[in-house]
């Protein structure tokens, strides 16, 4: 038997004022996208913003549905927007933020498992990694260099061949 270890490296910032101007602006766009959220059931609003390789910034938000689990997370809404409006143009950076109507919103959250899988697949599709900027409405910020770091040992299209 051999034992292996998986590590995820990330940078942590005290707040958005510690980020460079481009990253702070993208995080602010994600925070603005929170207001586009439809979350009457969970009361957990999520906004995401993506910077494409052509410089365009797009926003998405979570969209819930009474017919649970028919809702969509902000990250998957945003990836759909990106690939529909700008097919083949890579997402360079994605910022994700949230507002929890039932509690605190002052720490970074990470994409759910389905979104991690979708981000991983998208990186493969456009052959480019996505840098993630994760933060709440306030508080610390985490920056991860590539989305696939959040899904080690991912199931990919190569596994289906």
**Could you read off the pLDDT of 39-98 as tens digits, one per residue?**
999 999 999 999 999 999 999 999 999 998 889 999 999 999 999 999 999 999 999 999
Residue pair 92/128 in contact (Cβ under 8 Å)? The answer is yes
Q: What was the pLDDT predicted at 39? A: 97
CATH 3.40.140.10 is held by the domain 19-152 = yes
- Select which of 28, 64, 75, 121 is catalytic: 75
Q: Is 22 a catalytic residue?
A: no
CA distances from 53 to 74, 90, 131 (A): 20, 6, 12
Domain locations in the chain as residue ranges: 19-152
Chain segment 93-117, per-residue pLDDT in tens: 999 999 999 999 999 999 999 999 9
Q: Using 50, 70 and 90 to split pLDDT, how confident is the model at 11?
A: very high
Residue pair 52/83 in contact (Cβ under 8 Å)? The answer is no
Helix axes 113-126, 74-85, angle to 10 degrees: 20
Q: What was the pLDDT predicted at 157? A: 84
96: helix, coil or strand? strand
The per-residue pLDDT of the chain, averaged, comes to: 96
State the pairing for strand pair 91-100/131-135.
Answer: parallel
**Cα 5 to Cα 86: distance, rounded to the nearest angstrom:** 37
Q: Is the pLDDT of residue 156 over 90?
A: no
């Amino acid at each position: 038997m051999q034992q292996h270890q998986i590590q995820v490296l990330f940078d942590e910032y005290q707040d958005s004022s510690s980020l460079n101007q481009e990253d702070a602006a993208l995080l602010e766009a994600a925070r603005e996208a929170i207001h586009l959220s439809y979350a009457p059931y969970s009361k957990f609003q999520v906004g995401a913003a993506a910077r494409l390789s052509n410089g365009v910034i797009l926003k998405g938000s979570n969209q819930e549905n009474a017919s649970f689990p028919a809702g969509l997370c902000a990250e998957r809404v945003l990836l759909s927007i990106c690939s529909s409006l700008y097919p083949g143009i890579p997402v360079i950076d994605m910022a994700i933020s949230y507002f929890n109507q039932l509690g605190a919103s002052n720490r970074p959250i990470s994409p759910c498992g389905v979104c991690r899988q979708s981000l991983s697949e998208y990186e493969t599709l456009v052959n480019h990694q996505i840098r993630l900027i994760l933060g709440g409405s306030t508080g610390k910020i985490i920056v991860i260099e590539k989305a696939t770091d959040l899904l080690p040992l991912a199931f990919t299209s190569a596994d289906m061949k």
